[in-house]
Amino acid sequence: MELKLAKMELGGKVKKIKLEKIEEILKNEGQKIFYFDKSNSHKDLVSLVEHFEELGYSVYLREVKYTLDENDYIYEIHIL
Query: Is the C-alpha dihedral spanning 52, 58, 63, 67 positive or negative?
Result: negative
Other Cβ atoms closer than 10 A to 8: 9
The pLDDT score that the predictor gives to residue 70 is 87
* pLDDT: which is higher, 70 or 60: 60
Stated pTM of the model: 0.89
More confident residue, 45 or 8: 45
